[in-house]
């Protein structure tokens, strides 16, 4: 009876924490200028009015991350101020969005997303928690710790501000892993198929299921994924798919250097080719308060592109081999594989690592809580510095302002923090 009462008390506290985190997202982070989600509304809008040349970016030689030509004037006429980013998701979602946009506004979609996204991030942690073998008391500590790391890290904060669709992708990936472990292959395969229909790379995770002999999950992922692909072709037509594939090819041929791109391409570009990089100014409507906002890009030569593909394949092959040989705990290989694929992908935005953060509860099995909490603290440093810097009386302090600029503009800070978390998972995996 005492155990049941204690569990109810912990569940109530977690529910209150969800409410608090949702309020935090809606009241403090949600912005009418969630440029990433705004791109989804704009793509659906232009598809609805038949402007097929205004859905995907106009780039033909290299990916600049500039939007189609008519997006800026439309947003300016609506009184929008802020960044404008392109839409680079598969055509299936363009068609679905085109059915919705005539009855919605960008602001309404952003407000709804700011309510749903905290629940999806909360759900990610709860799903990951199911994979642990922790006692009840430690499960509560692990859940709270993971939620703090997920919501208040740079990746989680930016994802919530931008209402990034990657939150849904990350949730579906974690859901697929948890459902497969619970021997629910239909749900697992369906979740992974929808994740791959949003972002292509989750299809690579099928290799880990195949290595573990989880053939029913593999079959359902392929069946549902094939159905979604066929529906996409029937609904959107081939020309729109050709435009999408062209942009995907351009992205794979481009190295983009920005402090929020935590990938190998960005790292190599900054270390070895920074002087020859092409500066790109962010497409912005309204004032930037005198701040130069943008990024740098490089065309990737053939050897670089081939190396990127090889590293991605190796990233999947190595954990699949370990699983097939029964030499490692697959629970730890999943977050390591997700992080490695993010790192070797052409674009590796900070929020691509959300599943890695969500799997933090697993670390409590192998690392004593006090040591682990201390080890995780660097992940929150950037957020805390940003929060302190936002206080008017402190933003002019040279030390705080200098630290803020260093953390937010340093191209290596994010990579180092994710590498540190990756190392913690490697350490835990080796203790199995």
Cα dist. 149→133, 146, 338, 357, 360 in Å?
20, 5, 17, 7, 8
State how far the Cα of 418 lies from the Cα of 245, in Å rounded to an integer. 29
pLDDT confidence of residue 74 = 93
pTM of the model: 0.93
Q: Which residues of the chain have pLDDT under 70?
A: 1-7, 29-32, 287-292, 382-397, 400-409, 432
pLDDT confidence of residue 398 = 74
pLDDT confidence of residue 98 = 95
pLDDT confidence of residue 276 = 87
pLDDT confidence of residue 290 = 46
Say if residue 5 is exposed, middle or buried (CB neighbours under 10 Å; 0-12, 13-18, 19+).
exposed
State how far the Cα of 395 lies from the Cα of 402, in Å rounded to an integer. 10
Percent of the chain surpassing pLDDT 90: 60
What are 96-153's pLDDT values in tens digits? 999 999 998 888 888 889 899 999 999 999 999 999 988 887 898 999 999 988 988 8
**What is the torsional sign of CA 398, 82, 343, 338?**
positive
The residues pairing with 255 across neighbouring beta strands, listed in sequence order, are 298
Locate the DSSP E strands across 40-107: 82-83
Assess contact for 430 and 422: CB atoms under 8 A: no
State how far the Cα of 307 lies from the Cα of 318, in Å rounded to an integer. 16
Q: Which residues contact 148 (CB under 8 A, 6 or more apart)?
A: 380
């Amino acid at each position: 009876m005492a155990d049941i009462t204690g569990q109810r008390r912990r569940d109530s506290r977690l529910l209150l924490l969800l409410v608090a985190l949702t309020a935090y997202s809606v009241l403090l982070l949600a912005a009418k200028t969630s440029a990433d989600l705004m791109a989804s509304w704009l793509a659906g809008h232009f598809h609805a009015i038949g402007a097929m040349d205004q859905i995907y970016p106009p780039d033909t030689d290299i990916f600049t991350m500039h939007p189609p030509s008519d997006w800026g004037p439309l947003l300016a006429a609506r009184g929008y101020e802020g960044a404008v980013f392109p839409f680079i998701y598969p055509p299936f979602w363009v068609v679905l969005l085109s059915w919705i946009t005539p009855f919605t506004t960008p602001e309404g979609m952003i407000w709804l997303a700011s309510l749903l996204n905290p629940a999806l991030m909360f759900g990610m942690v709860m799903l990951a928690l199911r994979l642990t073998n922790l006692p009840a008391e430690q499960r509560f500590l692990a859940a709270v710790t993971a939620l703090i790391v997920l919501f208040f890290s740079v990746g989680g904060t930016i994802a919530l501000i931008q209402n990034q669709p990657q939150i849904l992708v990350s949730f579906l990936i974690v859901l697929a892993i948890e459902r497969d472990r619970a021997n629910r292959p239909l749900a697992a395969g369906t979740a992974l198929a929808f994740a791959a229909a949003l972002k292509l790379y989750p299809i690579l995770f099928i290799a880990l299921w195949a290595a573990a002999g989880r053939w029913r999950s593999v079959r359902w992922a392929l069946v549902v994924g094939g159905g979604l692909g066929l529906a996409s072709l029937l609904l959107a037509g081939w020309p729109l798919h050709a435009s999408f594939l062209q942009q995907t090819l351009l992205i794979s041929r481009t190295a983009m250097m920005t402090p929020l791109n935590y990938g190998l391409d960005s790292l190599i570009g900054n270390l070895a080719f920074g002087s020859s990089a092409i500066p790109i100014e962010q497409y912005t409507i309204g004032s930037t308060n005198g701040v130069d906002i943008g990024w740098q890009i490089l065309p990737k030569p053939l050897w670089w592109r081939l190396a990127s593909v090889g590293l991605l394949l190796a990233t999947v092959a190595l954990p699949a081999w370990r699983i097939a040989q029964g030499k490692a705990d697959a629970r730890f290989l999943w977050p390591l594989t997700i992080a490695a694929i993010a790192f070797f992908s052409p674009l590796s935005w900070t929020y691509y690592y959300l599943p890695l953060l969500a799997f933090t509860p697993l670390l409590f099995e192998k690392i004593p809580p006090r040591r682990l909490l201390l080890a995780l603290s660097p992940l929150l440093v950037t957020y805390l510095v940003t929060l302190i810097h936002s206080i008017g009386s402190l933003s002019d302090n040279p030390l705080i302002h200098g630290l803020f600029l260093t953390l937010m503009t340093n191209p290596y800070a994010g990579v180092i923090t994710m590498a540190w978390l990756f190392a913690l998972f490697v350490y835990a995996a080796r203790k199995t």
